[in-house]
Amino acid sequence: MLRARYRRRRGEVRREMRPLGLVLKGGIWYLVALAEDAVRTYRVSRFQAVEETGDLFTRPAGFDLAAYWAESARRLETALQQGTARLRLSPRGQKLLPMRFGAAGVRALADSGPPDGEGWVEVRLSVESEAVATGDLLRLGTAAEVLGPAELRRTVAEAVAVLAKRYATDG
């Protein structure tokens, strides 16, 4: 059993926990542990202090770390998705989408129609808030065009205009 101090967004908490496993996701380590009678996920870098209590515990029968992690990731992704963006993607954009958007990008491509004469496809992509989606979609650069919703297209266009103006001169 472990006793830990953990930094959350709203301050520090103290927990006694029974570690069930470590997971590496996107270069970030997470501890999956039983705490307060529930399985919880903790970002390892947010631990301020950790010590062993010396108490032993029995791992819950049937606990499957891989299954827990997959379900936890699915729930988080579902909770974060607030809307849908319609995009046109070049062949390069089709390669970038899964790398930038993970499972949501893979699903969007799987559901896309056939490519047009230049190899571009139209997809529907689950996205977070408009602000987050704008930043995420800008990472696709010229390999994508936002078709809708209109407000997202306008926001991306405004960001591109600011960048174009900024880079129009020699600094």
**pLDDT tens digits, residue range 80-137?**
667 899 999 999 999 999 998 888 899 999 999 999 999 999 999 988 888 889 999 9
Q: Is 73 in the same domain as 107?
A: no
The letter for the amino acid at 24 is L
Q: Is 98 in the same domain as 160?
A: yes
Q: Which of 38, 64, 79 is the last residue of a domain?
A: 79
The Cα 167–Cα 64 span in angstroms is 51
Q: Is 98 in the same domain as 74?
A: no
Contacts of 69 (CB under 8 A, 6+ apart): 23, 25, 32
For residue range 44-71, list pLDDT tens digits in order: 999 999 999 999 999 999 999 999 999 8
Q: Is 59 in the same domain as 40?
A: yes
Q: Is 66 in the same domain as 114?
A: no
Q: Is 131 in the same domain as 61?
A: no
Q: Is 74 in the same domain as 106?
A: no
Q: Is 95 in the same domain as 74?
A: no
- Confidence bin at 19 (pLDDT 50/70/90): very high
Q: Is 89 in the same domain as 158?
A: yes
Q: Is 68 in the same domain as 87?
A: no
Dihedral, CA of residue 113, residue 115, residue 116 and residue 121, to nearest 10:
70
Q: Which of 79, 112, 146 is the last residue of a domain?
A: 79
CA distances (Å), origin 105, targets 31, 96, 98, 139, 162: 27, 9, 4, 13, 27
What's the mean pLDDT when you consider all of the chain? 92
CATH code for the domain of 118:
3.30.70
- Higher per-residue pLDDT: 154 or 27: 154
Q: Are 152 and 136 in contact (CB under 8 A)?
A: no
Number of domains in the chain: 2
The token duo for 125 is: 């992509």
Q: Is 109 in the same domain as 136?
A: yes
Q: Which of 53, 79, 105 is the last residue of a domain?
A: 79
- Higher per-residue pLDDT: 82 or 24: 24
Residue 105 structural domain: 82-167
The Cα 52–Cα 50 span in angstroms is 7
Q: Is 151 in the same domain as 92?
A: yes
